[in-house]
Structure 1
Amino acid sequence: MFGKKAQKVTIYTSFVLFGLFLLVLCQTACLSSFGGSPSGTRLDKMKTSKMFHDGKFENDPFVPMLSSGDYIGVMKRQLFGSEVRIPPSPIPVQKPDLKTFSDPVTPGLRAIWFGHSSVLVEIDGIRIFTDPVFSGKVSPFESIGPGRLFPLPLELSELPNIDAVVISHDHYDHLDMTVAQFLAKKGTKYFVPLGIGAHLESWGVPENQIIELDWWEKGNIKNIEIICTPAVHYSGRGLFSGKSTLWSSWSLIGPKHKFFHSGDTGYSSHFTEIGKKLGPFDLTSIKVGAYDWTWEGIHMSPESAVQAHLDLKGKTMLPVHWATFNLAIHSWDEPILRTKQGADQNGVRLATPKPGEWLDLQKDPVSESWWEKVK
């Protein structure tokens, strides 16, 4: 009798210990995805930034994350709205021929939109990736959170050599731990706003591959000047890490071409300032989706995105940050419909390649309205 009881206790204890092990493992994984906390000389540099106040970064002038309004109505729309937020049929994805990636990189300016804000840019012989996110879910958890709406054009293992990555801010839909760990082993350099280096170092990215910049500070990769430029947004990967790292846009200035990446941002005079100082830009990659009137101060509308392109003195506009993750209340294709209308009204040269399709600035921009066939 005692032996059977002891056996049951042992089995029960084993299950409990195994459960605790899984719980600890899960928590460890989650904590890893949260990233690190700035300290030491990194924190000292952050404190010298004009954007750093009372232990965190703030927009100047201050912009609330949410505007006052009918939040109950917003929740009702979120839960019961009639918007078609998921594409009714598969989004067309074009897998690029790996032979098109030459080494050394082809001169000129061309790009591939991988979805959301992930754009692989080849500019004047250098290959740079903006906000590369390859995870299926954009959250601290692998199985919980907004899921990808279409497959990636290429897997991580298929990527060509990447000279550098620029990160606009540390939200999960812009900074991917798995990608950082993979590219770190390839020697890729990461250009990031202040504080984000703590995340990268906690994930094993070597210190000499991290270039951490304040607004208007410059770095370079070979002959390309990489400038950290302003944005109106916020940051944070954990419950208590809001605004602990800086956010930014990025300007890539080559000998013959210029490229701008907006990151996430509200509309403000910073676009005009960047345009005056660094423009005109041959290609602008500007976010057009995941907006709502309640957070328009930090996520501009499609019409504002078109105006931002004009402020930047842009020549060709590539709309990004849409149709990849269900992050807002609007229909999945509303951002591109409004962007195209605004572009047509303002004479803006709009490029609308399918995910994975090359956009070559030496040729006429891809302008197919492929989303109209997704029904």
Structure 2
Amino acid sequence: MTALAACRRPALPHYPHSPQHRDGRFQNPRPRPALGFWKGLKLAWAVLFAKPSGTVPDTPIPVRALDRAQLEVAPDRSLYRLGHSTLLMKLRGRYWLTDPVFSERASPVQWAGPARFHAPPIDIEDLPPIAGVILSHNHYDHLDRAAIARLDAKTGRFIAPLGVGDQLIAWGIDPAKVEQLDWWQSTEVDGLRLTATPAQHFSGRGLTDSDRSLWASWVIQDEDLRVFFSGDSGYFDGFKAIGDAYGPFDLTLIETGAYDQRWAFVHMQPEETLQAHVDLRGKWLMPIHNGTFDLAMHPWEQPFERILELAATHQVPLSTPVMGERVDMRAPGPGSQWWRKAEISSALQTQPAPVEQR
């Protein structure tokens, strides 16, 4: 091998059959507005050094500790919010995880970056065998390398958008366990049907891999049960297209948090979350992507308050479970306003202490 060949970069993955992949990168149907160098620098400064007060809770928040015995006796179609966009679902007697993040920080390093507000309700080692992990994209608050490594031995399948699966394989996951889908492609696992659907977002874990992998939302079908998992997305007409193709949905799990007008193209305001739920023809709405990491400039509890008010105004059934609380996916129930200080105090007195991070 010549010195020149040894110095060449590996060939970039190529996805010639994907309509989303052009010129070496994945694209949104509507191009993402360019932020520009100076605006980007100003925004980075604000996020890193000029955070307003209140973006992190000043008291512990309630978490219902889980153990394997509880999960094994739970009825089918149970769902547990473990934090941020990490959800544990029991379907057809088996267990599924979305975007599992269990590390202390949503960051490329564990000595800096957004730290958790709470420990996960259950540790990875205490989970039962996982039928599959469903991934939406590769950002650090959705794809946790340490968690993937710890889940590998107990997970049957990793189902991901194009390119995200390649990342898993590069980390040592057996390619036979990895399935990658483009938008509108489906797979079936033990009677459960999973379809990758569009989202309006972006990808990247470093300075050189921007949009080299795809981002997606997911439709989860278990016979007559239909669930929508948004991953991350700005508001766009794709929600109506998904609703027309797969709705109505019994439950929509939609991002409501880490929003800001400066990045509105890739993260929805609460009003847009509600509209996305309506477009999808959802019955119950569960707001996710909140309550675990400090990723924006708004008060940490604001996403809950805003979506609660909007849902009441528009008579949309809203479910806001405590982290670790069991939810019936067909009839979730409203939950509680656990993020309010009086509710936090009461919940911490009556619930088991949060499990410690291992």
Instruction: Indicate the TM-score class for this superposition, using the shorter chain for normalisation.
Output: 0.7 to 0.9
- Within the alignment, does 1:51 sit opposite 2:27 as a pair? no
Residue among 109, 118, 139 paired with 1:150: 118
Shift of 1:158: 0.8
Percent identity at matched positions?
Answer: 36
- Among 298, 311, 335, the alignment partner of 2:303 is 335
Q: Which amino acid aligns with 1:141?
A: V
SS at match of 1:175: coil
Distance 1:212 1:72, change over 3 A: closer
Name the SS for the 1:251 alignment partner: strand
**C-alpha contact (below 8 Å) 1:184/1:209 kept by paired residues:** no
Name the residue aligned to 1:165. 133
CA contact (8 A) 1:96 1:358 kept: no
Structure 1 segments, 4+ long, off by >6 Å, are 67-73
Amino acid at match of 1:227: T
Matched, 1:176 2:144: yes
Change (3 A) 1:69 1:310: farther
Deviations 1:12-68 (A, max 9, x none): xxxxxxxxxxxxxxxxxxxxxxxx9885xxx34x23211111110111111226499
Residue in structure 2 matching 1:88, options 58, 68, 73: 58
In structure 2, the residue matched to 1:264 is 232
Deviations 1:68-94 (A, max 9, x none): 997787567544454410101111000
- Tell me the TM-score normalised to structure 1 length: 0.83
C-alpha displacement of 1:163: 0.6
Are 1:219 and 2:187 counterparts?
yes
- Which AA in structure 2 matches 1:102? E
Structure with larger Rg? 1
The alignment partner of 2:219 has SS state of: strand
Q: Secondary structure at the match of 2:154?
A: coil
CA distance in 2, matches of 1:334, 1:186: 36
Residue 220 of structure 2 is matched in structure 1 by 252
Secondary structure class of the residue paired with 1:47: coil
C-alpha contact (below 8 Å) 1:184/1:204 kept by paired residues: no
* Contact 2:133/2:155 (8 A) holds in 1: no
Q: Distance in 1 between matches of 2:115 and 2:235?
A: 27
State the Cα deviation string for residues 117-174 of structure 1 (Å, max 9, x = none).
0011123434211101001111111212111111110111111221111100001110
Q: Does structure 1 conserve the Cα–Cα contact (< 8 Å) formed by 2:139 and 2:204?
A: yes
User: Normalising by structure 2, what TM-score?
Assistant: 0.87
Partner of 1:243: 211
Aligned counterpart for 2:261 among listed residues 293, 314, 329: 293
**How far apart are the structure 1 equivalents of 2:257 and 2:38?**
21
Indicate how the Cα distance of structure 1 residues 355 and 154 shifts in structure 2: closer, same or farther if over 3 A, else same. same
Answer yes or no: is the 8 Å Cα contact 2:322–2:335 preserved in 1.
no
Secondary structure of 2:113's aligned partner: coil
The one-letter code sitting in structure 2 at the alignment partner of 1:164 is G
- Equivalents in 1 of 2:107, 2:176: separation in Å? 28
Amino acid across the alignment from 2:69:
K
Equivalent in the alignment of 1:234: 202
Match of 2:108 in 1: 140
Structure 1: where are the runs of 5+ without partners?
1-35
- Report which of the two has the higher share of helix: 1
Over aligned residue pairs, what C-alpha RMSD do you find?
2.3
Count residues in correspondence. 334
**In structure 2, do the counterparts of structure 1 residues 279 and 81 end up closer, same or farther at CA, with 3 Å as the change threshold?**
same
DSSP 3-state at the match of 1:299: coil
- Which range moves more in the overlay, 92-101 or 161-170? 92-101
Q: Is the 8 A contact 2:284 2:332 kept in 1?
A: no
Which of 91, 98, 111 is the matching residue for 2:68? 98
Whether contact under 8 Å (2:52, 2:297) holds in the other structure is no
Q: 1:362 to 1:47 in 2, by over 3 A?
A: closer
SS in 2 for 1:114: strand
